[in-house]
Chain A
């Protein structure tokens, strides 16, 4: 067993894990953060996407021990007190999702992407999200949610960081 300390959603969390435990299982089972979903366990579907040290990663392809000393953000950490960040709000307004299982992965991947590419157009957004699989929506409503969030963020003058919700 390995003792680890990880910053998760701004809070210092500790655990004692087998080296073989994935970050996704550590988040879900040890830290009770079940918002991160496990859809394939081989890194293809993207449901398990979280942000580690500023980069979107597949938490099923990281060992928990590898996250020691890092900063991890899960979907629960995007907006405090269960409120909705700007991207989440835009997705709500756009009817982006149906069953919701792929949702946290998309939200995290889109959060990371928009952070780095706030002016992205539709084709870039599609490519950026092509590593996240949704079986319900046919993707259009998800793309629309991301486009709406991007559009709204451009309407806000710089400096109003609070309105940018969960994006860095």
Chain B
């Protein structure tokens, strides 16, 4: 009797199913799509930050051989249904909505604002056409800073709003703010700035829209984080029934929050396809991506901190201003999350928070990996600044403030319980992995030689998806759905609304399904990217590990139960005594009884069984997140600052992470390292810069600098023992954490390196020139 053994996949670094095609150039990205009769679009974009459009003359452009059509903003208004931006209307930041047209008609509001679209036989010809579109603008004074936008006299970016303050100016208080500040041993004040930077996926935005007039169906090949949300956006704007819009997505070259819904350009392209009766492709180039796709993180904070002489932070009072650029969408929602997350895993007793969102003549604020990340930056910067004032070590001040794991769990003053949070353990783990006292000795020796090394720490938690709440599903965006089907070839297919763009879902979900259902990994297929076929879903918010991992686990178990119920008829055994192992259905302990699961499925499909026997091997499962939970951890960086040039080298980087149970350690670690790289990039290299006239200055990779293989060190990752909260689903999200906590980790280290100069840092972007300025200013002060 040979035993049938099953390989266990969950928890193993199973090689990715995606890779054979990726590594051989067989991936299929939007730019790779070719359809018969396909045309190419290019956009005419505003060269001004703020202006009135007086006249648009497209006659010369239309005359270019190979140019098939030119649509102005006015044309597109006639071709589409006017209305508010999809995401804004779905998530509603509150307050009056700015009114604007799909492409600019009467006004342009940022450099790069699309004004017209040229459709031609090739992208080369379309760009030739764009150069010949003649537009008369009246220059208007641009509003280029939050400070000027706050001025009631600044020219309104949106006429219907009257001024440039767009977010409700609301103050919340949690705990006894007044009393806490009145009774504090010390009150410190800081102004902290986070600079504008952006997603920059290696693949920009783009789509191919193909309208079939004969059956009234619009097919959009998209690069998106959700085919369903894109479908909603297209249907809404084109005035079509959702089921007449089909959105397909293949491989996607990264997104980091950028590619959600349908952009103004994509909607214009869809409308053009419908008007022309031919497929139209638009692939944004790098200048467009950097200038016009959207930017993030431009926020400033007035912070008051009520602290004891022992370094315990009792209260924070924060006033935030967020610059949401022109055409604000995401920006109005970010302050709410920041407010909720500011206390972090600390015993903060009181929080006052108010925020103001302004609109300016810059690219729109979009979601960028951990959109609320500034709460961790502010909190972890403040702790270090307080530690310095009090003569405390950065590890020590955090240990004094971190909430220990108690039962019932400590609750953040803003309401969420810190159930299962291992922040204290993560700090202790850092101290084990990094010999901090030895570093301090080395630091002192090197200082004597004129070399400046520094060490920085930071701690974070992330609601990935967050703890179970009485209100409903863990985390935002509701229940997660999945359809699972066993075919009569024995292949288990998972249909999910997840839309991987680097997350490796086609591997990780198959690992879970293989384990829970009982088939080999290679016998599971994950279907994504077809709005006609997959249930609603969105990849984002670090939700998929828990939500999709969980629905896969439970759905696979449900389907297994169904199959075994049926098999009990086939095999004349009780379902209780049956199992599915390595793709075989067998009586437990009797390998000779094994039947391949495909054979069982074929029997079920044969029609031999009565109506009382369930032979439909398909399950529609949904999952509410179970007990949910937090992800989090502590990071530590050691840097060297060359105080003559301002160049910073990250010598060592350690991440002590708790992201629950790991589905695929290699995938998890890749996500963590990628996020950390973006955080290092933000501090040392990346800035979306505008001059005082609103001209965009970081429009190519010569000026918007991304970190390279020489900028990111080997990142050591230690996984903490997680606290299981749920009986079954303890996978937690990890996609955003690295990007959230790396910036303060690195800034803290730089400030530590510059301690001998008396430097204090209240900002996130530290290019070499800035470091020398900080040193010089501290010398003078």
Partners in one complex: yes
A interface, CB within 8 angstroms of B: 18, 20-21, 28, 32-42, 44-45, 47, 74-76, 78-79, 82, 84, 88, 91-93, 95, 97-104, 107, 125-127, 129-143
B13 part of interface (Cβ distance < 8 Å): yes
Q: How far is the CB of A85 from chain B (nearest CB, A)?
A: 9
Binds A, one of B406-414, B453-461, B501-509, B625-633: B501-509
What residues of chain B lie closer than 8 Å to A36, measured between beta carbons? 25
Q: What chain A residues lie within 8 Å of B714 (beta carbons)?
A: 140
Of B13, B28, B667, B706, the residue contacting A135 (CB under 8 A) is B706
Please provide the 7 A-B residue pairs with the shortest distance between their CB atoms, ordered closest to farther: A35-B25, A101-B253, A138-B673, A100-B22, A98-B502, A99-B502, A75-B25
| B715 touches which of A45, A132, A138 (Cβ 8 Å) | A138
Residue of B15, B27, B256, B715 touching A100 (CB-CB under 8 A) = B27
Is A42 in contact with B673, judged by CB distance below 8 angstroms?
no
The answer to whether B25 touches A92 (Cβ under 8 A) is: no
Known A28-B32, A143-B709; further 7 A-B contacts with Cβ < 8 A: A42-B702, A47-B202, A79-B24, A95-B666, A99-B203, A102-B202, A136-B674
Asked whether B252 is an interface residue with its Cβ less than 8 Å from the other chain, the reply is yes
For A126, the chain B residues whose CB sits under 8 A away are 709-710
Inter-subunit contact B202/A99 (CB<8 Å) = yes
Question: B180: shortest Cβ distance to chain A, in Å?
Answer: 40
Provide the bound-state CA to CA distance between A105 and B4, in Å: 43
Evaluate contact between B700 and A42: CB separation under 8 angstroms.
yes
User: Is the beta-carbon distance between B202 and A39 smaller than 8 angstroms?
Assistant: yes
How long is the Cα–Cα vector from A76 to B21 in the complex, in angstroms? Answer: 10
Q: Which of A28, A35, A47, A140 has the most CB of B within 10 A?
A: A140
6 pairs, CB–CB < 8 Å, chain A vs chain B: A39-B203, A82-B24, A100-B21, A135-B201, A135-B254, A142-B709
B254:A136 contact, CB within 8 angstroms: yes
A101 touches B700 (CB 8 A): no
Q: Which residue of A42, A104, A130, A138 contacts B701 across the interface (Cβ within 8 Å)? A: A42
Contacts of B201 in A (CB 8 A): 99, 101, 135
Minimum CB–CB distance from A141 to chain B (whole Å) comes to: 6
Interface string of B653-667 (1 = CB under 8 A from A): 000000000000011
Given contacts A84-B20, A98-B674, contact A140 B715 (CB under 8 A): yes
For B717, give the chain A residue with the smallest CB separation.
Answer: A140
Complex Cα spacing A39 to B666, Å: 26
CB atoms of B24 and A34 under 8 A apart: no
Complex contact A44–B700 (CB within 8 A): yes
Q: How many residues of B contact A (CB 8 A)?
A: 54
**Interface set of B (CB-CB < 8 Å, partner A):** 13, 15-16, 18-29, 31-32, 34, 124, 200-203, 251-254, 256, 285-286, 501-504, 666-667, 669-671, 673-674, 676-678, 700-702, 706, 708-710, 712, 714-715
Q: How far is the CA of A150 from the CA of B70 in the complex (A)?
A: 53
Most chain A beta-carbon neighbours within 10 Å: one of B251, B667, B677: B677
What's the Cα separation between A102 and B23 when bound, in Å? 10
Give the chain B neighbours of A133 by CB distance below 8 A.
202, 701, 706, 708
Q: Which of B13, B26, B715 has the largest number of chain A CB atoms within 10 A?
A: B26
B203 touches A42 (CB 8 A): no
Contacts of A78 in B (CB 8 A): 24
Chain B residues near A32: list those with CB within 8 A.
Answer: 34
Q: Which residues of A contact B674 (CB under 8 A)?
A: 98, 135-138
Q: Which residues of A contact B32 (CB under 8 A)?
A: 28, 34
**What are the residues of chain B within 8 A of A141 when measuring CB–CB?**
666, 669-670, 673
A80 CB to closest chain B CB (Å) equals 10
- Among A33, A37, A139, the most chain B Cβ lie within 10 Å of the Cβ of A139
Query: Which residue in chain B gives the minimum CB-CB distance to A35?
Result: B25
- Whether A139 pairs with B712 at a CB distance below 8 angstroms is yes
